[in-house]
Amino acid sequence: MSAVTPGPEASRPYISIILTGRNDDFGGNFNTRLFRALEFNHRHLTARGISHEFVFAEWRPLPDKPWLAEGLLDRYPEMVPHELNAFVADLAYHDAYSLNPKLQFQEFIAKNIATRRCRGAFILTTNTDVYLGRRVLDELEKQQLEPGIVYRAPRIDLKDEVDCDPMVWEVLEDEQNYIEINAIKPPCYTNASGDFILLDRDSYFALRGFNEVYRVSKVHMDSNFCLKAYSHGLAFHPFDGPVYHVGSGTLNSQRSLYAARPADAPWGNARWKRSVIYENPDGWGLWGAPTKEVRPGLQYLEFDWSVVPPIVDLRRLVLPVTRVGMPPIP
């Protein structure tokens, strides 16, 4: 069975929230962090009447552990399928895509899988342990987002030891709990963009998602997307309130472990030229992959070599375009 095309516009939620992961306990207590943030965000989106869905993509599932996607659906059966859906990509896709044997997880290809199959009028790509701030929710509640604008939000990192079971506003908004405020700056607002990129569906699809051409690293794919959006003429709008993350960031917290041997880092080369703009093929997000329904709300993407893009396609790498009258791309 091929991938299912989203239903009519009238049946779409206002926003689709894209999440990725697998059952590997990345960063410690990964599943718990996912559940707590999802419950918080779902509770406050629902209270404000913001129609939404969470779409979870599991990449490189571990063969000796149950799928995290199934555990997610088992935990929240009342949300399936209108507010929660999941997709699991066959394990073979990781090796077929990766050109770096050190890479453990290709987060942004997984985000493309979920983005390509979501239903929302607007799409938010974020991370599993990110909490939406009060002012971000205020903007979503207005339901006045405009097409052709990349909405961004700064991220505040909270101390690991804060009490988040359950998370409450008093903890999120207490400055004594803050480790770092990740500010965002024009023109492309690239800092910490993997935690919050909000864009209308048509624009996301016109850009063809995150970079699937450069396959030796997973870092800076988020800022690379922002640069591509900028070079294609999209406007940027920063929200005046943050999203929150407990801890200093799972990637940042592990950088010191590989400072003396960066070639061994499981996220790949962090110094690649992210300002090179890419062009994904029409089938980005494994759109043509044969799909099997495992249960309501869960689909499995079976392996098929024909949907894996060619390894080398120089036509899909183009230099960034500097817009007339706008600051140059950094």
Quote the pTM value: 0.90
Residue type, 131: Y
Task: Give per-residue pLDDT as tens, 286-307.
Answer: 999 999 999 999 999 999 999 9
Instruction: Give the pLDDT band of residue 11 (cuts 50, 70, 90).
Output: confident
Please report which helix (H) or strand (E) contains residue 171, including its range: helix 169-172
Q: Which residue has the higher pLDDT, 60 or 321?
A: 60
Predicted pLDDT at 80:
97
The domains located in the chain, with CATH, are: 9-318 (3.90.550.10)
For residue 280, give the 3-state DSSP assignment. Answer: coil
Predicted pLDDT at 5:
45
Task: Give per-residue pLDDT as tens, 249-270.
Answer: 556 556 666 666 766 776 666 6
Task: Give per-residue pLDDT as tens, 40-67.
Answer: 999 999 999 999 999 999 999 999 999 9
pLDDT at 326 > cutoff 60: no
pLDDT at 26 > cutoff 90: no
Predicted pLDDT at 48:
98
- CB contact at 8 A, 158 and 177: yes
Residue 145: which of 177, 172, 112, 123 has the closest Cα?
123
Predicted pLDDT at 328:
56
pLDDT at 318 > cutoff 80: no
pLDDT at 315 > cutoff 70: no
Q: Could you tell me how many residues make up the chain? A: 330
Predicted pLDDT at 101:
81
Q: Phi, psi (5° rounding) for residue 43? A: -60, -45
Q: What secondary structure letter does DSSP report for 13?
A: -
